[in-house]
Structure 1
Amino acid sequence: MKLTISLLGLLLGLTAFGQIPTKHYNLKRGIAIQGYDPVSYFEKGEAKKGLESIQYKYNGATYLFASSAHKQAFEANPAQYEPTYGGYCAYAMADGDKVKIDPKTFKVLDGKLYLFYNFGGTNTLKLWNDEEASLLPKADKAWKKIINQ
């Protein structure tokens, strides 16, 4: 019983400091953002595919980078570059849903990376932009609930 309480306290403490359990990340074979370079979204304003030869494991997820400089930037401050909501669709997160993303459909807002679903003629980034003011707090609240379960 004491061990269970200690582990629960550790888990809650980790999520409070950004350490989210891997089960909440949108990963494919352990790779985050479908292999796209998280730093490229911020520095280049574009989704650029990372290279298998330049990778860094953080918080149980493996990130790929287009250059060694991008890897070094990430290593220096991973929390700055990690996608919000574990890399799931921000629009769907407003309803508490973990939905796949198109890594080329994104938005950087207030220093955070938001990713979106964009398949079959449905681009949720456009929907998000129309309702961002109301969706953002809903998505934040839903994400906090998910990671603290």
Structure 2
Amino acid sequence: MTAQRQEKYRRRLGIAVIAVLAAFCGALPPFAAEAATTERLVVNRFTGLAIDGFDPVAYFIDGQPVEGLPDFEAWQAGAVWRFHNEGNRASFLAHPEIYGPQFGGYDPVDVARGVTVAGTPRIWLIAGERLYLFEREANRDVFAADPGHVVPQANARWPELLQTLAQ
């Protein structure tokens, strides 16, 4: 190998090592935006948005997920919440414990099992006048079949899991 090729090889190797170290340390963003899973509330780590910017009140009023607008934002529980209109924003700020997703947006079926897995705003269910987000549809189906069984188990595990999540 010539000296020029050796230098080029060393340079590429150095860049590769730096890239691996940066990725390992979290300096490089992953390929897709993911929800943080070390927070008490599921928040997009790149935008700071709770439930990916969906309006939590719209689930109750419109019966479907509705994307919130940047014009109607509020800061609550360490996250930015977006709303479809000012009325929804005001309702949420008056009663965040009612409109916010239960278990901080973590899947209640997984919480009942003792693990925190971020729920998806597009897979949801309202039960007992509370919003629940799920990682996958199968978990939503399990929950819907018997919420009276899952919720007490999740409520029992939640305080212990909260201790493992960063504030």
- Report the TM range for the smaller structure's normalisation: 0.7 to 0.9
| 1:12-34: CA deviation from partner (whole Å, max 9, x where unpaired) | xxxxxxxxxx9311111321111
Shift in alpha-carbon separation, 1:111–1:131, aligned structure 2, 3 A: closer
Query: In 2, distance between residues paired with 1:134 and 1:78?
Result: 25
Tell me the CA shift for residue 42 of structure 1: 1.1
User: What is the TM-score normalised by the length of structure 1?
Assistant: 0.76
Identify the residue that residue 28 of structure 1 maps to in structure 2.
44
Shift in alpha-carbon separation, 1:101–1:148, aligned structure 2, 3 A: closer
Identify the residue that residue 50 of structure 1 maps to in structure 2.
68
Task: Tell me which protein shows more strand as a share of its residues.
Answer: 1
Identify the residue that residue 21 of structure 2 maps to in structure 1.
none
**Which protein has the larger Cα radius of gyration, Structure 1 or Structure 2?**
2
Other structure's SS at 2:39 match: helix
Matched-pair contact (CA < 8 Å) for 2:109–2:143? yes
Q: 1:140 is matched with which residue: 155, 158, 166?
A: 155
Matched-pair contact (CA < 8 Å) for 2:116–2:161? no
- What is the number of residues matched between the two proteins? 125
Identify the residue that residue 100 of structure 2 maps to in structure 1.
82
Alignment-mate amino acid for residue 141 of structure 1: A
| 1:54-110: CA deviation from partner (whole Å, max 9, x where unpaired) | 110111111111111111111222222111001111111111211122212111112
Alignment-mate amino acid for residue 123 of structure 2: T
Tell me the CA shift for residue 123 of structure 1: 2.7
Counterpart mapping for 1:1-149 below 5 A = 23-29=39-45, 30-118=48-136, 123-148=138-163
Tell me the CA shift for residue 148 of structure 1: 4.6
Q: Indicate the larger mover: 22-31 or 99-108.
A: 22-31
Other structure's SS at 1:24 match: coil
Query: In 2, distance between residues paired with 1:139 and 1:34?
Result: 23
Shift in alpha-carbon separation, 1:35–1:148, aligned structure 2, 3 A: same
Percent identity between the two aligned chains: 29
* Unpaired runs of at least 5, structure 1: 1-21
Other structure's SS at 1:99 match: coil
| Coordinate RMSD, CA, aligned | 1.7
